[in-house]
Structure 1
Amino acid sequence: MRGTHEHRTIDALLEEAEVLGGAYDDYDSAAARERLARGQADTRLPAPRRSPEQGDRPSPPDRPAAAGRRYRTAHEQAAHDLDLAISLVVGAPRAADSLARLVDHRRVDPEGALVFGCLLHLVGHREAAQFWWQFAAGGGSRTAAFCLYLHHRCLAEFRDAEYWRDQTARLRGAHRASRAPAASAPGLRGFLLPDAIRRDLLRQCHRGRHPRLPPAVEAVLNRLRVTGDDEDFGEIPQPAPGLPAELARSRTG
């Protein structure tokens, strides 16, 4: 039945999701959408194939997405792929560890910046999300570079999108050459977001909606200290100590 199938799909996505860059090789966005519909998820994310400029009209937003779904424009397709990538990043088992390393000001962590950018995007701070993704990509996160590729494609900024597509491939090659082991922060266990919220983000993607966090969680992020008014990105929220624990305690109400 549909409910059982959807539950199994989200279980598979959450079980296999990884936030660190080593988990994102050989990503194919079209195949990922098909796996999402079938419930056979492989959540590795990096250089995507080009999205078609035209395709079938999408289902209404309150209906489950069909396998092999295509959107009418490249912008809509990129927006859907970015929503899915963001939902997987913030729902991944290592997201809390990564964000914790970022909020500890003794360490500058690219993967934590990736996670923080994804959270900001979910609450509508798109320019600030771009800032943190660029910070993360500059530190070597190819998943952040991939998010930037999709972000610029959503805006029809195709030259910028191709730049970040090339950076995704370059960072993937650098990682394979270095064979650097993935870092892990001891002392923090569990997921960044409660289970119900992680599942709901993916459920919204599955139904073709733009995923949103519950109001209680958005409030946590909207209370963050904002620094300056950057010429390019506007106001930029800053991660605060205790943020991962506060998000983990959040509820849907």
Structure 2
Amino acid sequence: MARTDHEPDTGIDTKLTQAEALTSAYQGYDTEAALERVRALADTGSGPGPAAPVAPRYPTVHEQAAHDLDLAATLIVDAPQAQRSISLLVDFDPIEPEGALVFAALLHLSGHREPAQFWFEFAAGAGNRTAAFCLTLLHQQRSEHRTAAHWRTQIPTPDQAATQPATDTSSPPALLPDRVRRDLITRCWQGRRPCLPPRLEAVIHGLPTEPFDEDFGEIPRPDHTLTRLPQYAGS
């Protein structure tokens, strides 16, 4: 049977390479480096040899898309630029699209799925390729293939993406503590839903919200609490 564009890809390497979505979500973002961080975090030392873990595969399109969206959100908050992007989101006006992307990923991982969609759409509307990719997966997860196809067309190719200024190449602080990131990655590789620790979820659930929206419900808005997430995790 011929492969359709809704048939799930096999393996995280293929998924991210074909999508080309994470490679330039941030200036200088390196997918291979991200995958190496994934492998290192997922390696608990219990297995023999240095072989990389195998990403789970799912029998249906919507299950595969749900897993891929969870993994994409985890890679977003694991990115070296995530802390800086959140700081820009909180401290500057107008709203910083890359910060909106990281905020959407945090909301997704804390169970705020509809508000996460709102912030993914905000970032995608500002031209963020990864946000458009996440929306493609989100609608594939719901079997809303026409809407998924729409967002797929909104992912500009690398030559169409706007040129962004160079960023600081020094090692920035991580958005989340290492043990939290390790747990998120491990859960993804075990086929379980990644979720933030209860204390961090409580912090995000306690963010101020905009008035109730008929499409997305109560939409959390970012504040300086987000720049202190490692403190709340006890790191």
Task: Give the structure-1-normalised TM-score.
Answer: 0.70
The SS at the match of 2:219 is strand
Where does residue 6 of structure 1 map in the other structure? Answer: none
The Cα shift of 1:25 comes to 7.5
1:106 is displaced (CA, Å) by 2.6
Q: 1:181 aligns with which of 165, 168, 173?
A: 165
- C-alpha distance in 1 between matches for 2:63 and 2:234: 28
The 1:192–1:217 alpha-carbon spacing in structure 2 relative to 1, beyond 3 Å, is same
- In the TM superposition, what whole-angstrom CA distance separates every residue of 1:72-111 from its partner, at most 9, and x where no partner exists? 1000000111111110111111101001111114341000
Match of 1:90 among 54, 77, 83: 77
Partner of 2:233: 251
CA distance in 2, matches of 1:72, 1:36: 27
Match of 2:203 among 209, 217, 220: 220
SS of the counterpart of 1:148?
helix
Q: Does 1:121 find its partner at 2:104?
A: no
Matched, 1:191 2:169: no
Asked if structure 1 preserves the Cα contact closer than 8 Å seen for 2:24 and 2:158, the reply is no
In the alignment, the residues of structure 2 paired with residue 115 and residue 167 of structure 1 have an alpha-carbon distance, to the nearest angstrom, of 19
For 2:26, which of 20, 42, 51 is the aligned residue?
A: 20
| SS of equivalent to 2:218 | strand
Q: Structure 2: 5+ residue runs without aligned partners? A: 1-22, 42-51
Name the CA shift for 1:114/1:184 in 2 (closer, same or farther; >3 Å): farther
TM-aligned CA distance change 1:78 to 1:21, over 3 Å:
farther
The share of aligned pairs that are identical, in percent, is 48
Q: Tell me the equivalent position of 1:10.
A: none
Q: What does the per-residue CA deviation read over 1:185-233, in whole Å, with 9 as the maximum and x for residues that have no partner?
A: 99x9401111100111001001000101100110110110011111211
Change (3 A) 1:25 1:190: closer
What is the alpha-carbon distance in structure 2 between the residues aligned to residue 77 and residue 21 of structure 1?
28
CA distance in 2, matches of 1:185, 1:137: 25
TM superposition outliers: structure 1 runs of 4+ over 6 Å: none
- Correspondence for 1:201 among 178, 184, 201: 184
CA distance in 1, matches of 2:199, 2:172: 22
Aligned residue for 2:63?
A: 76
TM-score (norm 2): 0.75
Distance 1:185 1:235, change over 3 A: farther
Q: Closer, same or farther in 2 for the Cα pair 1:69/1:242, shift >3 Å? A: closer
Q: Cα distance 1:252–1:212, how it changes in 2: closer, same or farther (>3 A)?
A: farther
In structure 2, the CA distance between the partners of 1:93 and 1:100, relative to structure 1 (3 Å rule), is: same
| C-alpha distance in structure 1 between counterparts of 2:40 and 2:223, whole Å | 36
Shift of 1:171: 5.4
SS at match of 1:238: coil
Counterpart code for 2:179: A
CA-CA distance at 1:243 after TM superposition: 1.7
Q: Secondary structure at the match of 2:232?
A: coil
| 1:157 has 2:144 as partner | yes
Compute the displacement of 1:180 (Å).
3.0
